[in-house]
Amino acid sequence: MFQEQEMPALIQSLTDYTKRMALEHDFKMVGKCMDLMGMLYEKGNPLTRSSVENIFIYSFSTMMCSCNIVEWKVIRSAMPDPLYALYVKQVLKSKC
């Protein structure tokens, strides 16, 4: 298995992979990554949840900048609702 302290690096790797799949227009794989992150967030311990919030969710803004509006809508539709809610919360918080 892996050590708990390795979770942030694991989340970063999956984040990088998800962004690469988005850039390659492999939206089916992006959807699978979103589902996996949603499950990790839902069932994870505090470190896992924090890593998903601070690494994966934070990357949505850069992912959005790399896509056109149609691609972003496809990616958005693949996001589990709890992850999208966290993203909206982050965006609103950063505008303060």
- Kindly state the DSSP code that residue 68 receives in the 8-state scheme: -
Instruction: With residue 96 as reference, give the H or E element that holds it.
Output: none
Answer yes or no: is pLDDT of 96 > 60: no
* Summary mean pLDDT of the chain: 91
pTM of the model: 0.87
Count of beta carbons in the 10 Å neighbourhood of residue 55: 20
Question: What would the pLDDT profile of 13-28 be if each residue is shown by its tens digit?
Answer: 999 999 999 999 999 9
Q: Between these two residues, 92 and 32, which has the higher pLDDT value?
A: 32
Secondary structure class of 88 (helix, strand, coil): helix
Q: Between these two residues, 74 and 63, which has the higher pLDDT value?
A: 74
* Cα 48 from Cα 27, distance rounded (Å): 24
Answer yes or no: is pLDDT of 2 > 70: no
Query: Contact, 86 vs 57, CB < 8 A?
Result: yes
* Cα 58 from Cα 93, distance rounded (Å): 12
**For residues 68-92, average pLDDT:** 92
Question: What would the pLDDT profile of 36-57 be if each residue is shown by its tens digit?
Answer: 999 999 999 999 999 999 999 9
